[in-house]
Amino acid sequence: MEIIIASDAAGVAMAAADIVTDLVRAKPNAVLGLATGSSPLGLYAELAARVARGLDLSAVSGFALDEYVGLAPDDPRSYAHVIRSCVTEPLGLDPQKVHVPVGVGDDLQAACQLYDDAIAGAGGIDLQVLGIGRNGHLGFNEPSSSPESRTRVASLAESTRQDNARFFDEPDAVPVQCVTQGLGTIMDARRTLLIATGAAKADSIALAIEGPVSTSCPASVLQRHPNAVVVCDRDAAAKLTRVSA
């Protein structure tokens, strides 16, 4: 596992964007796994600035990590909306090549299988962008998730619902279920890029990188990935003992 420690969030965004830029220049039709949440927003903003300066991402395909169950794609609280407004449009991606799990419908599990099939049909994910939850979750793979899990309907931990309540008018409005790529789906990516900033992520980063590989910290499974990179700032790296922050 490669660890890159930047001085601040801006440095994290730059370092992560360099990784994406290098990939796309080598493979213009690269397939990206797209994390939602706050962790990757700096990366997406930096990539948008580079697109404005001439970086061409128009041939890139994308697959989002997760979606809330019960929110339609046009709901402003949905991750489909976030991906459109923060990724597809500012990065100049083809909307037909950007996919988000379906959170509404009569047979969500069948839709989950179709999502994994679509990833495989695109040739697999070249670079999976990831954030990490305070409880160590990846995507919405909460503690106790199986390392072999595939895209599926899952329940959200109460701590995750509390963390995400700021995006909703009231805490009770936060969905209790989600559709998420599984840990097995994530681990199929040829490279993973985990982004973390801020002191609130220090405990989970330390467990993910230096703790035992355990279902109690889903992100620790990345220790077993052959090409994993973590980009974090000094605050998020503060509790690491085997690298210098």
Tell me which residues are annotated as active site. Answer: 66, 135, 137, 142
Q: In terms of Cα–Cα distance, which of 7, 17, 14 is closest to 129?
A: 17
Element (H, E) at 50: helix 41-52
Q: 199-236 in b/e burial notation, b at 16+ Cβ within 10 A?
A: eebbbbbbbbbebeeebebbbbbbeebeebbbbbbbbb
- Burial code (b: 16+ CB inside 10 Å, e: under 16) for 66-99 equals bbbbebeeeeebbbbbbbbebbbebbebeeebbb
Question: Which residues, including other chains, have CB under 8 Å from residue 119's CB and lie 6 or more apart?
Answer: 31, 63, 125, 185, 188
- Token code pair at residue 28: 């213009």
Nearest residue to 14 via CA among 165, 236, 234, 231: 231
- The DSSP result for 205-236, as a single string, is HHHHHHS--BTTBGGGGGGG-TTEEEEEETTT
Q: Which amino acid belongs to residue 113?
A: Q
CA 22 from centre of chain: 19
Rounded Cα–Cα distance for residues 78 and 52 (Å): 26
